[in-house]
Amino acid sequence: MLTSTSPQVLTAAVGTATAPIRIGSGGVMLPHYSPLKVAELFSVLSALLPGRIDLAVGRAPGTDAATAFALQRDRRQAAPDDFPDQLAELIAYIDGKLPADHPFARLTALPGLPERPDLWLLGSSPQSAIWAAQLGLPYAFADFINPAGAEIAGLYRDRFEPSARLERPHVCVASSVVCADTDEEASRLAASGRMTYRMLRQGRPIPIPPPDKALRYLAEARASAKPSGRRGIVGSPQVVKEGLDSVATEYGADELMVVTITYDHEARRRSYELVAEAFALAPTADAAA
């Protein structure tokens, strides 16, 4: 929901406009989908963009209760919480390993074969870490939701069982970052996300507000404001680099992912550019073009 309500469509658009970077969904909230439909969609994407597609799935609804209910096909009752079964079915389609006597066995002939997406599990809780470890999947942890995840990442490593996909545990940590040329400007830009999260916790989701509006709201609410429980790395490039280095060390992360929320798209793009420069990440020739 931070970027697109249709991650598979955005994945295709980004993939055709770039090379040779990997393109990942971040992610597909599996309770809203049929496992077969997800397998088919990402099979086609894998055929169109060979060796570049990461399919990251999660259990959370990723939205408010009303939107989650509206996404259901059958609204006579709430959808069942059967994520482990959904995940097992999705893996079986992608791997082509449904038992021969399974009623859906013939449906493993996916349209994009022999290409397949690389599967990741998203999470912010111990349960997701346990599932990822048991299935031998790479694990992407949402530090921007739960900044107390280092122990959960440790749980994933301790319980990891090697699989055909992955021999060793692999952790990606996603952090909330707003970077600008100065600490003051970064703090101003970050106000938009702070107001958005505060309203969301009150059950009042809103579009990302302009920084000046957000600053006025936060100033008025400060007397009764409660700690958000979220970690935001906000500041100039050096401040952000030190913050991300600290997160990587804390988690023992193999990868870092940056999540940036700003009202203005150019400010968001500039934030990513400054982070890339801080880590000396040079663009490829294709990206520069």
**Whole-number pLDDT of residue 285:** 55
Q: Which runs of E-coded beta strand occur in the chain?
A: 23-24, 28-29, 53-58, 118-123, 139-142, 171-179, 232-235, 255-259
The string of DSSP letters for 23-89 reads: EE-S-EEGGGS-HHHHHHHHHHHHHHSTT-EEEEEESS-SS-HHHHHHH-S--SSPPP--HHHHHHH
Before 114, cis peptide (omega within 30)? yes
Give the domains, in start order, of the chain with CATH numbers: 1-123 (3.20.20.30)
| Distance in angstroms (rounded) separating the CA atoms of residues 50 and 213 | 44
Q: Are 174 and 142 in contact (CB under 8 A)?
A: yes
Nearest of 86, 92, 120, 119 to residue 108 by alpha carbon: 92
Q: Half-sphere exposure of 43 toward its Cβ, with a 13 Å CA cutoff? A: 20
**Whole-number pLDDT of residue 95:** 93
Give φ, ψ of 121 to 5 degrees: -110, 130
Before 84, cis peptide (omega within 30)? no
Q: Are 112 and 45 in contact (CB under 8 A)?
A: yes
**Whole-number pLDDT of residue 122:** 96
pTM for the complete prediction? 0.88
Q: Which amino acid belongs to residue 48? A: L
Average pLDDT along the chain, 289 residues, taken 10 residues at a time: 73 90 87 92 96 93 68 73 91 91 87 95 96 97 93 98 96 97 97 91 89 94 59 95 97 95 96 96 61
Q: How far is CA 236 from the centre of its chain?
A: 24
Q: How far is CA 76 from the centre of its chain?
A: 30
| Distance in angstroms (rounded) separating the CA atoms of residues 235 and 227 | 19
Name the pairing type of β-strands 232-235 and 139-142: unpaired
